[in-house]
């Protein structure tokens, strides 16, 4: 130890803290020091909360195990919840809510607190760790994006249905116009029966031929969408 600091007290040394996880030690030429996180931002930590240096694997330590966000896979989270019953399956929301409550100083449920501690989201003293805060930040961003995507998809579907309904309305209007047009295309045709034709001097054969022609004429008008009204 020199200048009142231990031998491991060196610029760039990774250190473990009680509430902020692993931070980087920065030492100025005048011996002034400060700690920064992975993003290079300064984090204020009491000297009493600095536990010690981060050991490498060759030194028999693996301090980043609990603080490595890569370990927070869906499988690991699901396994951490094995045997529990929260009455819901949105496990990441449960974790995020627990970390937020802990950061706010609110009382958290025992089971949720235990799980978050095991995953490194909370410290042993029940405070939100650096990993926990990062997890919440990323989770909120993912959820915001998911909800935004769902909203955009819903709005797109609504627009499609609106256009589809408008198309149906136009088709219905066109159909009604067509029906009205066809209904208006009705002709009045004097209809004769064979008795009348014979009565006016025609033969029975002539009457039969006339009636056949009259029926065919009526059928042709009907096929063209023209109504026939007898007189």
Note the pLDDT of residue 66: 40
Task: Give the chain's radius of gyration (CA, Å).
Answer: 43
Q: Which range is least confidently modeled, 18-32, 79-93, 121-135, 178-192?
A: 178-192
d(C-alpha 72, C-alpha 78), whole Å: 10
* pLDDT exceeds 80 at position 10: yes
Average pLDDT over residues 12-17: 86
Arithmetic mean of pLDDT, 181-194: 71
Q: Which of 51-65, 136-150, 180-194, 195-209 is the least confident region?
A: 51-65
pLDDT in tens, 22-40: 889 998 887 788 999 888 8
Strands 21-27 and 186-189: unpaired
What pLDDT sits at residue 32? 84
Name the token pair of 84: 């529990």
* Mean pLDDT computed over 134-142: 88
Q: Which of 20-24, 57-61, 142-146, 151-155 has the highest mean pLDDT?
A: 151-155
78 or 193, which is more confident: 78
For 106-115, 184-193, 206-215, which range has the lowest pLDDT when averaged over its residues?
184-193
Question: In whole angstroms, how far apart are CA 193 and each of 93, 214, 230?
Answer: 86, 10, 12
User: What pLDDT score does 5 carry?
Assistant: 67
Residue 160 CA to residue 54 CA, distance in Å, equals: 57
- Comparing 201 with 16, the larger pLDDT belongs to 16
Percentage of residues of the chain with pLDDT beyond 90 = 15
Helix, strand, coil abundance in the chain, percent, nearest 5: 50, 15, 35
Domain borders along the chain are 14-59, 69-132, 187-222
> What is the b/e burial string over 191-204, where b = at least 16 CB atoms within 10 angstroms of the residue's CB?
eeeeeebeeeebee
User: Using an 8 Å Cβ cutoff, are 36 and 23 in contact?
Assistant: yes
H or E element at residue 137: helix 130-184
pLDDT band at 4 (very low <50, low <70, confident <90, very high): low
pLDDT at residue 151 tops 80? yes
Q: Where are the alpha helices (DSSP H) in 46-129?
A: 74-80, 91-103, 110-118
């Amino acid at each position: 130890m020199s200048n009142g600091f231990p031998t491991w007290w060196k610029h760039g040394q990774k250190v473990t803290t009680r509430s902020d996880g692993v931070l980087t030690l920065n030492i100025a030429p005048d011996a002034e020091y400060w700690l920064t996180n992975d993003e290079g931002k300064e984090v204020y930590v009491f000297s009493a909360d600095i536990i010690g240096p981060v050991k490498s694997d060759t030194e028999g330590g693996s301090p980043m195990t609990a603080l490595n966000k890569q370990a927070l896979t869906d499988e690991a989270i699901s396994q951490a919840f094995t045997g529990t019953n929260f009455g819901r399956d949105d496990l990441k929301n449960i974790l995020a809510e627990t970390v937020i409550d802990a950061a706010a100083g609110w009382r958290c449920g025992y089971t949720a607190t235990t799980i978050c501690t095991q995953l490194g989201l909370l410290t042993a003293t029940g405070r939100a760790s650096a990993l926990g805060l990062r997890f919440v930040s990323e989770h909120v961003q993912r959820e915001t994006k998911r909800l935004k995507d769902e909203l955009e998809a819903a709005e797109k579907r609504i627009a499609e249905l609106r256009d589809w309904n408008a198309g149906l309305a136009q088709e219905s209007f066109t159909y009604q116009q067509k029906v009205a047009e066809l209904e208006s295309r009705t002709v009045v045709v004097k209809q004769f029966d064979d008795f009348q034709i014979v009565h006016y001097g025609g033969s029975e054969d002539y009457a039969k031929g006339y009636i056949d022609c009259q029926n065919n004429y009526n059928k042709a008008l009907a096929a063209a969408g023209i109504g026939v009204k007898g007189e």
